[in-house]
Amino acid sequence: MDLLSNNTHLCSTSSFLRFFVILLFTVLHSVTSFSQKIVLDNEPEELYEEVKGPGGKNYIHPYVALGVIPDYDELAGAKINGFLSNEYVFGVRYKRKIFSFYQAGVDISGRFLQYRIEDEEGVPDPLNPLSEHWNRGKQILRTNSMGLELYNRLRAGKGNNLGYYIDIGIRGDWNYINKQVIRSSYDIDENPYGKVKTVNRKLAFMKKTALYVTGRAGIKKVILYGSYRFTDIFNDKYPIPELPPMVFGVQWVI
């Protein structure tokens, strides 16, 4: 009876030891796998020292950009010349590396934007300030603005460079200067100077702020970008058709 009891006790102890060994192996295997996933999410050089530069966790760089404003979906009363309507940008961009494939950041930019207004046939509308200068010379609406953008980035590639990436963001602009430039030509009999440049500032019919959705596709230092303005550029008190809202262009990282 004692022998049977001892055998039963030994079997129970052996079973418990086997269960404990299996459980310990399972836990150690899980921890090792999890650690490997964390390690593999980083590039090899980051395991030993903090990387500085485009591939680091924090990176700031300036850039310049040139964009065009296509005359797609333009409306009568506010038609533009898409070839001569453009924007020039100088900005500084900060990115924070969260994972090897995901980053986020902030962009601060100064922007010079101009719309070349086309002449149109018909009787000018007294409530439309653009129509007053049809067929009287070259008319341009110009805006100087400061912009603040928040963006998300999906990145691919290895090494200490910007890699291949796609950005999606939202940008708010403060238009601190809005002006209307008219260059008129006259016969000498009408005006001895021949040409007259008129600049109207502090335009009541233009808003001081604008909101954009932005997108970028970059290969290291060269970036194709686009933006779409989903707020009105003109004040609601003036029945002026909206100008085309899209901009497309190229950015270069300095």
Note the pLDDT tens digit of each residue in 44-102. 554 446 678 898 899 999 999 999 999 887 778 889 999 999 999 999 999 999 998 99
Q: Is 195 exposed, middle or buried (0-12, 13-18, 19+ CB in 10 A)?
A: exposed
Give exposure, 1-29, as e/b (b: 16+ Cβ within 10 Å): eeeeeeeeeeeeeeeeeeeeeeeeeeeee
Q: What is the pLDDT of residue 16?
A: 47
Q: What is the pLDDT of residue 44?
A: 53
User: Quick check: 37 pLDDT over 50?
Assistant: no
Q: What is the pLDDT of residue 139?
A: 92
Where are the domains positioned within the chain? 1-40, 51-253
* Cβ-contact 65, 252 below 8 angstroms: yes
Long-range contacts of 161-165 (CB under 8 A, 24+ apart): 161/53, 161/54, 161/55, 161/220, 162/54, 162/55, 162/218, 162/220, 162/221, 162/253, 163/54, 163/55, 163/220, 164/218, 164/219, 164/220, 165/103, 165/216, 165/217, 165/218
Mean pLDDT of 233-246: 91
What is the 3-class SS of the chain, one letter each residue?
CHHHHHHHHHHHHHHHHHHHHHHHHHHHHHHHHHHHHHHHCCCHHHHCCCCCCCCCCEEEEEEEEEEECCCCCCCCCCCECCCCCEEEEEEEEEEEECCCCEEEEEEEEEEEEEEEECCCCCCCCCCCCCHHHCCCCEEEEEEEEEEEEEEEEEEECCCCCCCEEEEEEEEEEEEEEEEEEEEEECCCCCCCCCEEEEEEECCCCECCEEEEEEEEEEECCEEEEEEEECCCCECCCCCCCCCCCEEEEEEEEC
> Does the structural domain 51-253 have CATH classification 2.40.160?
yes
Q: What is the pLDDT of residue 135?
A: 78
Q: What is the pLDDT of residues 100-154, one digit of tens each?
A: 899 999 999 999 999 999 988 877 788 888 888 887 778 999 999 999 999 999 9
User: Quick check: 163 pLDDT over 80?
Assistant: yes
Of 215, 224, 208, nearest to 173 (Cα)? Answer: 208
Name the pTM for this structure.
0.76
Give strand pairing partners of 174.
Answer: 146, 209
Q: What is the pLDDT of residue 22?
A: 60
Q: What is the pLDDT of residue 89?
A: 98
User: Quick check: 11 pLDDT over 80?
Assistant: no
Q: What is the pLDDT of residue 127?
A: 80
Per DSSP bridges, beta strands 86-97 and 222-229 are unpaired
Q: What is the pLDDT of residue 38?
A: 42
Q: What is the pLDDT of residues 167-204, one digit of tens each?
A: 999 999 999 999 999 987 766 566 666 678 889 999 99
